[in-house]
Amino acid sequence: MPLEVRDVTVRFAGLTALDGVSFTVAPGTVHAVIGPNGAGKSTCFNVLSGVYRATSGSVRYGDAELTALTPHRIAALGVARTFQNIALSRHLPVVDNLMLGRHRLTKAGFVAAGLRLPAARGEAVRHRARVAEIAEFVGIGGLLATPVGLLPYGVQKRVELARALCMEPRLLLLDEPVAGMNGGERAEIAELITAVRDSLGISIVLVEHDMGVVMRLADQVTVLDFGRRIADGPPAEVQGDPQVIRAYLGASEESA
C-alpha cells in the first residue's frame, strides 16, 4: 500500500523545518528524499518514523494516520528504519543484534525465552533460522558470531540493514545508508537495496546525500530546499530541473 505524505509542516520555535511537503511512496518502489544541508530531510524522516510530531499535515499508511502514533506503534505496522549513525550493540555478536530486530515478532516474549520454556525455545529456533537467512541475503551470513564492534564500518551498515529486515517490514526507511563508505562499498549497498525492493517487494524511503546513488537507485525522487518541496519525479527528470540545479549550486557556492 502507498505511503501518502500530505501537506506536512514542522515548526521548531520560529523555524519552519518542513513547509507543506507532500509526496507519495508507491508500493514496491525506492523513493529518495534529497536536498542540500538543512533542507529538512532528517526532519521528514523523523516525522515518518514518529520521532518528531508534525505541526500540521498527514501521513497515511493504509488505514493508519502515522502522525498520531508513537515510533513503537509505527514499527508495529511494519515500518522499519535505520539510523544515520549506527545504533547497534557493539559488544554483542551480529546474531544477537539481529534477534533484537525480531523483538516485535516474538510471541513468547523475552521473559519466557529467558526461562527457556519449551514453546519459547521452539520459537527461538525458528527466529534464529530466519535471522540466518536474512544475514545470508545481506551478505553477512559468515559473521553471525562476530561482535559488531570488531566489524569494519561498511559491514556494520549491512548489519543495521539486516536488523531492520529482521522486523519483516513492508516499508523500510533508510537514513543515509551509504554515508561514510568508499566507492566500492556504495555500489554494493546500492545493489543490495535494489535486491530488497525486487526480491522482497519492500517499499523503501531513502534519505541520501550521494546523488550518484540516488540517481542509480531511486524510482522517484522528492527534492527539498529550505523545507519546501521544489521537485518530484523520476531521477532523470529531477536531475535536469533548473530549480534543483540552482538549489545544489547555491549550496555548493555557500560551502565553497
Ligand X SMILES: Nc1ncnc2c1ncn2[C@@H]1O[C@H](COP(=O)(O)OP(=O)(O)OP(=O)(O)O)[C@@H](O)[C@H]1O
Q: Which of 25, 30, 39, 159 binds ligand X (CB under 6 A)?
A: 39
Q: What CA–CA distance (Å, rounded) separates 187 from 191?
A: 6
Q: Which of 41, 102, 186, 229 binds ligand X (CB under 6 A)?
A: 41
User: By the 8 A CB rule, do 93 and 145 touch?
Assistant: yes
> In what order do the strands lie in the sheet containing 3-12?
15-25, 3-12, 56-61, 64-65
Query: Among residues 162 and 223, whose Cβ is nearest to ligand X?
Result: 223
Query: Among residues 128 and 209, whose Cβ is nearest to ligand X?
Result: 209
- Least separation in angstroms between residue 154's CB and ligand X is 20
SS3 content of the chain, % helix, strand, coil (to 5): 45, 25, 30
Decide if residue 143 touches ligand X (CB under 6 A): no
Query: Among residues 15 and 111, whose Cβ is nearest to ligand X?
Result: 15
Q: Which of 2, 20, 38, 154 binds ligand X (CB under 6 A)?
A: 38
Q: What CA–CA distance (Å, rounded) separates 56 from 8?
A: 6
Stretch that binds ligand X, among 30-38, 73-81, 195-203, 236-244 (CB under 6 A): 30-38
Stretch that binds ligand X, among 37-45, 60-68, 95-103, 167-175 (CB under 6 A): 37-45
User: By the 8 A CB rule, do 70 and 135 touch?
Assistant: no
Secondary structure E strands in 26-107: 30-34, 56-61, 64-65, 79-81
User: By the 8 A CB rule, do 170 and 200 touch?
Assistant: no
Decide if residue 50 touches ligand X (CB under 6 A): no
Q: Enumerate residues 167-206 that contact ligand X by CB under 6 A.
A: none
Decide if residue 252 touches ligand X (CB under 6 A): no
- Least separation in angstroms between residue 10's CB and ligand X is 8
Query: Among residues 35 and 101, whose Cβ is nearest to ligand X?
Result: 35
Segment (H or E) for 16: strand 15-25
Q: Which of 21, 43, 173, 223 binds ligand X (CB under 6 A)?
A: 43
Decide if residue 12 touches ligand X (CB under 6 A): yes
Q: What CA–CA distance (Å, rounded) separates 25 from 117?
A: 42
The CB density around residue 146, as the number of other CB atoms within 10 Å, is 15
- Site size for ligand X (CB under 6 A): 11
84-106-151 Cα angle (round to 5): 40
- Least separation in angstroms between residue 40's CB and ligand X is 4
Decide if residue 159 touches ligand X (CB under 6 A): no
Q: What does the binding site for ligand X look like in residue numbers (CB under 6 A)?
A: 12, 15, 17, 35, 37-43
